Structure 1
Amino acid sequence: MVELQAGRGEWFCALAWARLLGEQGRQADAMEVLAPYLATGWWTAVVTAAELLEGWGRVDEAIEITRVRMEAGHPMALESYTRLLARHGRAEEAFTLLRPHIGEPSLGVVLVDVAAAADRDEEAAALLAARTEHRCSDFPWCCRGLDRDTAIGLLATIRERQGRTDEAIALLRSGSTTLLNNREQLAALLARHGRLDELRATAATDDSRYAVQRLARLLEERGDVEGAIAAYRQADGPVAHDPNAAFELAQLLARHNRGNEAIDVMRVQADARNGDDWILHTLSDLCLDQGRPEDGLGHLDALAAARGGEEDWDLYWIRLPLIAARDGVDEAIAQARSHPEGATSYAAPHIAALLASAGRTEEAVAVLERHASTNSHDLAGYLIDLGRVEDALAVLQQRTPRPPELSDGPWHDDPPF
């Protein structure tokens, strides 16, 4: 079936079939499967074929098909081509090709990566140092996107690689205090080199949470769980302002069997951000994990009461696993169906999940079959669980794709089939 669909324009079937043939030593057959897709000039097919060829040891062919697309002008081909060259002993050539493109951020990153293999770190550093003198007047137009702070970050990468850690740190500290990328890079660098005191000092003044996150992770790895928790809970720290930092603290507490404290952390966030669904999901999951479904439901009930007793489905369904844990699956399903949106296509997957979790997969299928067109993947998954593979295929193949067609263009970003 996979082989058949591979020839009918089903790209993922073609990909799976080609990989399987390659594993069986049938490389020529694998390339024949991909040939119609490659003939369209579609970039995804080119990259895939190059990866397979490289994995089979046919490096020259991988380089060649990438080179052709590069010369045809595909904007992503130069990066793939030069990385391929660098991986296979031609880093000097790759660096030379990339050098004129130092002003393009994505290719600047590639040039820094390739410079090490080409033993041209100092040349790359000089190119970047020149960019650090530029002060943007109309970002990104005036510098094509490789602004001063981006150049500083890339230059710091080179200096760290050369063992010049202090210089790398000084560079990152000299950049803009508002650029998150450099602050994240600085925190990661300090953590990698175990510079705990400097990381603590950075965490105390950094409101981006990156330094705190790195500090907490480093302390946890060293067995200092209390220190990691304290890093998040420092006075006026990120947990007080950033729900993402609070989430990280809750996960840390839960990892160390302190789930009740984790619930308290997320309850504060849920109170402060009334109706923020991902926070409510996290709080509800923690309550379930701790065997406290009634507490999760209590918070959701209070939220609903604050809204006049009304709750849209996107918030209402969060309570269903909690009801199932406290009162049983049948009660959860009954309450779901009593909701004004309980009969909609977007409610069906949640009701089906309750049934499937109780081992009632056939009932889950029956619920989804009423809304098959909008829930095809969920429905197919349950059908497969029941061993009804042919039925699952029929659901997934409701739209018959066209076979690949040749194009006059040199390359494409969208599938031409």
Structure 2
Amino acid sequence: MDASDLEHRARTRSGCIPPALVSRLLELGHAKEVERQALGGEWFCALEWARVLGGQDRQVEALEVLDPYLATGWWTAAAATAGLLEEWGRGEEAVALARTHMASARSYAETGGGLALESFARLLARNGLADDAFDLLRPHIDDWPLAHALIDIAQAAGRDEEAAGLLAARIPAGHECDSPWCCRGLEPHLAVGLLATVHERQGRVEEAVALLSTHQFTSVNGRDQLADLFARHDRIDELRAYADTEPLGYAAQRLAELLEERGDVDGAITVYRRVGQGSLRRGNTAVELARLLARHDRYDDAIEVMRTSVDAPGGAEDWIVDVLCTLYAEQGRQPDALAWLDDLKARRGKEEWELFWIRLPLMAACGRVDEAVELTRAHPEGTTSYAAEHVATLLADAGRTEDAVTVLEQYAPANTTTLAGYLIDLGRVKDALALLQHTHPPSPAVPTTRLWLDEPPF
């Protein structure tokens, strides 16, 4: 085994048996094959087999399975083994193992860099060594994921004040980034969010609100931190006022969620309707409103909301149409969904693949699988590998797995994982493994242009 080869296979999920198919092998009674592959260099088989053995109180055997992977010096194997030891109540051994592998690595990159530091620090903190974890991460405060971990760990270490000082030093007075290339290291708007988290944790809620209120960006990963803070502290009037001005609609979403939690469904509906047209994420707001209505069995209203959204200029995006058709399907109204798609196609004069595929499961639910297959083949993109995967899914869901395999085999090596899964379902395990495995990873591509630019445009 070679660490770089293992890393390549695990990261790209190529040339190996991926986790989902390892689980499928076990579910279908192929434990012996999983064990054999685990001993032959298949990392995901080894990890799952070790879990199985650990669950049978055979921890010594489980660790023996992982030993050859650990011997390569591969950090991922060390982290996974430490995780199992921790699950088994052997936290001190987990820390010792991870510490040894961190110390023996010849370079920062060899451990996986920041990901390794973060996972090791969190392991330390979970096992009573939060001070050590804080000290480990402190020099890396300018790295966003490590800064986030540092703030999480600061509470357990009793060092919130120190963490707050580190963050405050990275927020220039009155500074606002005017371009994505403005700041290096931990950007001020990220530091603001983390510092507000610390202040709230310390009970300094007013300071957290003031800090977030004076900054331009408080939304990260689909949530608005200021809105969430108002909701946690039952400051609903401030949340209402903020929802009226926050342009992305995340604050309105949080307000609607809070009202729904309190049983004020009509109030939540009103919030979405009021901000919907003015939101920069109008389609997302419509979807949230429709899902709220559906949760309370108001499907006709939900469908009307989505139809209005689709009919708006630029509204017939595939994901919006998919939500509408899903609402129809949840009511058992697949024929109505198909009729609506037919009408949309007639109005547009064509049906791109992004919209066409949505009709396939609807047809299958109406018992029209063969018709759906023929319709797909007649589509301008019906002979592509991605179309083949949709056809195979229709056939397999109808219990025609052999036919699904026949379709996908014509496009190999595309859709390899899907095809291998169907072969496993048919008991053709050796064929599936032959499809998945190869001896060496492909040679890295030679770039013809610079891979990284630090000036706009990228």
TM-score per shorter chain, which class?
Answer: 0.7 to 0.9
Matched-pair contact (CA < 8 Å) for 1:86–1:94:
yes
Alpha-carbon displacement from aligned partner over 1:69-112 (angstroms, at most 9, x marks no partner): 44432422322222222222222222233333323322222221
**What does 1:209-228 align with in structure 2 at a 5 Å threshold?**
209-228=249-268
What's the TM-score, normalizing by structure 2?
A: 0.78
Following TM superposition, by how much is the alpha carbon of 1:141 offset from its aligned partner in structure 2, in angstroms?
7.3
Distance in 2 of aligned mates of 1:112 and 1:196? 27
Secondary structure of the equivalent of 1:103?
A: coil
Cα distance in 1, alignment partners of residues 420 and 330 from structure 2: 29
Match of 1:297 in 2: 338
Cα distance change of structure 1 residues 315 and 244 upon mapping to structure 2, 3 Å threshold: same
What amino acid sits opposite 2:190 in the alignment?
Answer: T
- Alpha-carbon deviation of 1:117? 1.3
Partners of 1:322 and 1:215 lie apart in 2 by 34
**Other-structure match for 2:65:** 33
Q: Partners of 2:417 and 2:437 in 1: how far apart?
A: 16
Change (3 A) 1:154 1:4: same
CA 400–384 in structure 1, closer or farther in 2 if over 3 Å, else same: closer
Unaligned runs of 5+ in 2: 1-32, 442-458
1:354-373 C-alpha deviation (Å, 9 max, x unpaired): 33444444444444444454
Per-residue CA distance 1:271-308 (angstroms, 9 max, x = gap): 23255211121122222223433443344334433444
CA contact (8 A) 1:66 1:80 kept: no
Are the equivalent residues in 2 in contact too, given 1:83–1:110 (CA < 8 A)?
A: yes
Map residues 18-417 of structure 1 onto 2, 5 A cutoff: 18-71=50-103, 72=105, 73=108, 74=111, 75-76=113-114, 77-133=116-172, 135=175, 144-176=184-216, 178-181=217-220, 184-235=224-275, 237=277, 241-271=281-311, 272-273=313-314, 275-308=316-349, 310-325=350-365, 328-371=368-411, 373-385=413-425, 388-389=426-427, 391-402=428-439
Match of 1:115, as an amino acid?
A
Residue 21 of structure 2 corresponds to: none
Cα displacement (A) at 1:323: 3.5
Q: Which amino acid aligns with 1:350?
A: H
2:40 aligned partner: 8
**Native 8 Å contact 1:232 1:239 kept in 2:** no
Contact 1:46 1:65 in 2 (8 A): yes
Counterpart for residue 411 of structure 1: none
Distance 1:6 1:374, change over 3 A: same
**8 A contact 1:239–1:245 mirrored in 2:** yes
CA distance in 1, matches of 2:178, 2:292: 42
Deviates more, 1:329-338 or 1:40-49: 329-338
Contact map agreement 1:15 1:34 (CA 8 A) in 2: yes
SS in 2 for 1:347: helix
**Cα separation, 2, equivalents of 1:375 and 1:345:** 7
Q: Are residues 114 and 354 of structure 1, via their aligned partners in 2, closer, same or farther at CA, if it must alter by over 3 Å?
A: closer
Query: Using the alignment, how far apart are the partners of 1:393 and 1:171 within structure 2?
Result: 60
| Structure 1 position 328, deviation (Å) | 3.4
Distance (Å, rounded) in 2 between the aligned partners of 1:40 and 1:298: 59
Amino acid in structure 2 at the alignment position of 1:166: E
Q: Percent identity?
A: 56
The size of the alignment, in residue pairs, is 399
Answer whether contact 1:18 1:31 (CA < 8 A) is retained.
yes
Deviates more, 1:48-57 or 1:291-300: 291-300
What is the rounded CA distance, in whole Å, between the counterparts of 2:287 and 2:76 in structure 1?
36
TM-score by length of 1: 0.85
Q: Which residue of 2 aligns with 1:410?
A: none
Q: Deviations over 1:361-412 (max 9, x none)?
A: 4444444444454334334444555xx22x14522432434499xxxxxxxx
Report the CA distance between 1:343 and its aligned residue.
4.4
**1:330 Cα deviation (Å)?**
3.7
Q: Which has the higher contact order (CA 8 A, sep 6+)?
A: 1
Alignment CA distance shift 1:96-1:297 (3 Å):
same
Q: CA deviation at 1:119?
A: 1.3
SS in 2 for 1:163: coil
**Corresponding residue for 2:14?**
none
| Cα 1:381–1:101 shift into 2, 3 Å | closer
Assess, with a 3 A threshold, how the Cα gap between structure 1 residues 243 and 364 changes in structure 2: closer, same or farther: same
Deviations 1:23-60 (A, max 9, x none): 22222322222222223332322221111122223323
Q: Indicate conservation of the 8 Å contact 1:216/1:231, yes or no.
A: yes
8 A contact 2:420–2:436 mirrored in 1: no
Structure 2 residue identity aligned to 1:117: A
Assess, with a 3 A threshold, how the Cα gap between structure 1 residues 393 and 185 changes in structure 2: closer, same or farther. Answer: farther
